[in-house]
Structure 1
Amino acid sequence: MAKEHLLKWLQEGNISVPGVLLTNYKDLNLNECELVLILQVISFIEKGNDFPTPVELSSRMTISVSECTDQLRRLIQKGCIEIKEEITKDGIRFEKYDIEPLWGKLIELFLHKEKRESQLKHQQDETDLYTCFEREFGRPLSPFEIESLTLWLDDDHHDPHIIKAALREAVMSGKLNFRYIDRILFEWKRNGIKTIEQAKSYGKKFRQNQQQASRPDKESSSQAKSVPFYNWLEQ
């Protein structure tokens, strides 16, 4: 007999709860009691009872029926659950709890956090970019130079990493000035260079073409010294 009860207990099954709900319910302005109540509603729904009463819900919790009713009302006011009215094929009207608004709020929260993290990362990249320029120039940037950086970022939409790459190219070329960097960025944009890998490939081809153009004729080639290839992007 005890074994049968244990089997019945084990067959209660599980409920499907996204981990994101457990980790973010606080950001949805939910307390622990409201969270458990939502889980109880989900549990009833998954077992075929779409509209459990406050009596049924409170029987599984440590709150009274009246407290359960108040909690349900607050969850509805917060837009986490809804009560929907539907009609069966036989024309019988019935009510049910709808948890979809809760999932919608979680999705909105996730997208908001993703956007916020992206903005913070972008701001950090910009801060690092200004610091990188000041370190290479060995001084604070002038208002004109700051404006140039802002234009590259906001108007020309250059990625901060590409701007750093152009700065590095200018340093290795011994032409550390904003005009030269602006020319590099202009050339890269004109040739569709948007990533470090593309810049690396373009720089390699550009240097190879330069070497071929300056290569001496065959008679004097044996006396010419070979110029080592230096790829700044590899450093």
Structure 2
Amino acid sequence: MDELIDYRCVDFQKLLILKAKSLHLSDQQCYVLLLIMTLDEIGVKPITPLQISKICSLSVQKLDDILMSLVDKHWISRQNGSLNLKPLQRLLLDQNEQSTDQDIDLVGIFEDAFGRSLSQREVQLINSLKCQGYDDEMIVDALNESVKSGVITFRYIEKILDNWARYGVTKRYAPTNVSTHQEVEQSIKDYKWWENHE
């Protein structure tokens, strides 16, 4: 089905207008999505909030709020500073990927790590990380990495995420098989070196 998206076999603008009400999109959200689709269709790259603000009458603050809500609902994503419509296109084609993410309380996790309440500026920094396309799990992994390093600052966390994005890391910690590790340790503990006859 991704071929339908890649080869532009479907008119997603018409499909969006027809399905906007059933997706519970507000008129402004629908309008912004149509603007993004139009910019994509005419070949504007990268599609950024600044590019959108040049062709619409919404204030920059209102546009940011709408884009943030669309990113939070996983209808669009941000990759390397550019907006990506594939999540919405899959949703319109009824291919919505089942999200395995539970809603993570990022502010609570950060407050626990920092040992204090976050300022409004720090909460905005967390939101900006989400707007850049990082999912909640990656942000938490970067926070854990900074805690291990003993450098708990937002700048350091952002640099960790930037490095991971540059090298294509999508999941920081692969699941490990703990039982195998314990079995190996047990076999080492049980090794009777004194019985080794050469």
TM-score clears 0.5: no
TM-score, reference length from structure 2? 0.37
Q: Which has the higher contact order (CA 8 A, sep 6+)?
A: 2
Select the structure of larger CA radius of gyration. 1
TM-score, reference length from structure 1? 0.31
More helix by share: 1
